[in-house]
Amino acid sequence: MRSFILISAAIALAQASIIYRRDTCTVLDCGTVASSQSSCIAAGCCWTPAYDGGAWCYYPTPTNTTRPTAPDRSTIAAWLSSQYSYSVTQLLNALSPSGTVAGVVVAAQSKSNPDYWYHWSRDGALTMDVVAKLYAKAVAAGDSTNANVYKTKMQSWIIFEAGLASRTNPTVSITGNFADNVGEPKFNVDGSAFTGSWGRPQNDGPGLRVRTIMRFLDSYVSATGDTTYAASLSSQIQKDLDYIVRNYANTCTSGTPCFDLWEEKSAQHWYTQIVQRRGLLAGKSYFTKWVSNSTLVSSYQAVSSSLETMMASHWNSTAGFINEMMDITGRKSPDTAIMLGSIHSFDSDNYNSPTNDQVLRTVWHYARYFKGHFTINQNRASYAPLVGRYMEDVYNGGDGVNNDGAGPWLLSTAGMAEFYYVAATSLFQAGSASVTANNQDVYQYFGVTANVGSTITGSSLVTLVNNLFGEGDAYLQTLSYWMGSSQEMTEQFNPKTGARQGAPHLTWSYASLITAKFARDTALTILSGNSTTPTNSATMTATTTPASMTTTTTMVSPSPTAVTTKCNVAVSSRIDCGVIGTTEAQCEANGCCWNPLPSGTSGPWCFKTGAVTTCSVAVSSRVDCGVVGTTEAQCGANGCCWGPLASGVSGPWCFNAVPA
């Protein structure tokens, strides 16, 4: 994470010593012109002389690229529930801990090897965005005690950030503009400037900060009606947004550097651009709702549109993925920053969301590369992989103990789960999926084969959505496997042994796990409805064009219902009541039940039952009889009961009948 000052010391770290055949590898350059066979192999890469101008030293990819089997949902839910509670506690422990001032968010509970006992603007904003969501949930649940706790922590952080924006720091020395101090990435825990060498400025902080403040204000004003407090933050919010307007188009040369979220390279970064855009949209909302300023709103809209144009230029049509930065020297592989940028920004208007064909393809490619990258992934090739930052990474966490090279990151692996939960939810809400040249093979991987230009709907869409959700669970299954009995979330796993490495109790890791659970809960709630009527009660805005052109659809939750019938029995309890060729009319004329079974399910279609059953089952006693995306018709076809639940009530909608 904090590899800016450690790269030169880590370059020589070895990750594996395996030679792969070229025909089992995707030829993604792993070396430099000066690479030798020994140095290539020491870096865990493939070596094959090539005389077609291609790379001799290149990254391995797995021979097993099949989709992992989705784990049992109840097992994932049980682990996630426990890990979530622990993660919330640890995240809150990182807010103004002993020895710091009010409002500080420490990056990790670690003061040496590595020393992450600092406040980072980006990490702070991402962490407090979780707190803003916790506040909204507490308010919705009528939990005034926790709502007040979260509100106090939010307001302390906002005050602390305002104080930082009033002081000089090293970024000001670089740009010569005092107002640019909001681009400083790192501060001491007493609020003073960190003056050591670092990759600065970093231009993602202001956008993330405004996004988080606005999330909190939306919930706070809705709960309290206190628009005066919201309006009082106008100068703080405008200063962050002015910074974006002033610096978004920087060339990122030595005179106007702009480092990435990994604090390593100065370039124009896709992640920075998408969170800047997200912050500007939040600013548009703020200066429309509580402090009316049409001039600023127009300015933010114009810059948002310019950022969209800039982001579009990152698409590498030859490689088939988005380049995180325009200067790809030393980093040519897909970057986890694309996945993170998407899940950190899509919630305003679905722009570059996980269902965007270029974003989806990039993230899919990114994960496939990692399936063959680490020893611990190679040894579990049939499971979802642990994922790192990018393939060329050499930063091992700086703990001084683990020296096997850069490992997979916990926050990225949890982020992959969130990404696929969001994709499943979004496609289900949309009611269809358009097939393009960019996503055709991705959809095929997820079980749906369709022609470019066609639209996936109906049962095929249910299959696609269900498999996307299952992929999310597969990533959490892998994460839980390597975490074992310990709930501590560090920065990385060792790439060879799977032992934890890097900073202990990394706050961002906990934040990523929490938001993955939020996304999973949302998906389960929405996907428990049917494929033609989405079941969320909120309004969703789906963007298929730039921010200025959106369409809005309002969706309403169905009321809970249940039906009692003697024919609703498990397939295993059906007693054959017909012969080969019996029709539905003949079956029912004999007083028997008729219920065709899905392809691949064995059992009689015409049957009788040994007992009368009922669907009047307490929610707590319901036994799940479907999968994510099961429709009412499919549920009934399986001889199960269908009973939608009210918003906020957890339980299966499709469930087994019980004896009457």
| Residues belonging to the active site | 260, 263
Q: Are 44 and 15 in contact (CB under 8 A)?
A: yes
As a whole number of Å, the CA-based R_g of the chain is 26
Question: How many angstroms separate the Cα of 53 from the Cα of each of 21, 41, 50, 244, 319?
Answer: 18, 20, 7, 41, 16
Determine the 3-state secondary structure of 105 from DSSP.
strand
Answer for the pair 479, 487: CB distance below 8 angstroms, yes or no: no
What is the number of other CB atoms lying within 10 angstroms of the CB of residue 601?
Answer: 10
Cα dihedral 449, 451, 455, 459, rounded to 10, equals: -20
Contacting residues for 432 by C-beta, under 8 A, at least 6 apart: 455, 456, 457, 461
* Backbone φ/ψ region at 570: left (φ over 0), alpha (ψ -120 to 50), beta: beta
From the CB of residue 126, how many other CB atoms can be counted at a distance below 10 Å? 26
Question: What's the chain's length in residues?
Answer: 660
* Rounded CA separation 452/449 (Å): 10
Q: What does the alpha-carbon distance between residue 139 and residue 161 come to, in Å, rounded to a whole number?
A: 24
Three-class secondary structure of residue 281 per DSSP: helix
3-class SS string, 64-89: CCCCCCCCCHHHHHHHHHHHHHHHHH
3-state SS class at 327: coil
Residue 420 in contact with residue 471, Cβ under 8 Å? Answer: yes
What are the Cα distances from residue 17, in Å, to 379, 429, 501? 14, 46, 21
- How is residue 655 written in tokens? 């469930």
Residue 48 structure tokens:
């094959």
Is 254 exposed, middle or buried, given 0-12, 13-18 or 19+ CB atoms closer than 10 A? exposed
Q: In the 8-state DSSP scheme, what is residue 384?
A: P
Token code pair at residue 40: 């290539």
Residues 177-210, buried b or exposed e (16+ Cβ, 10 A)?
Answer: eeebbbbbbbbbbebebbeeebbbbbbbbbbbbb
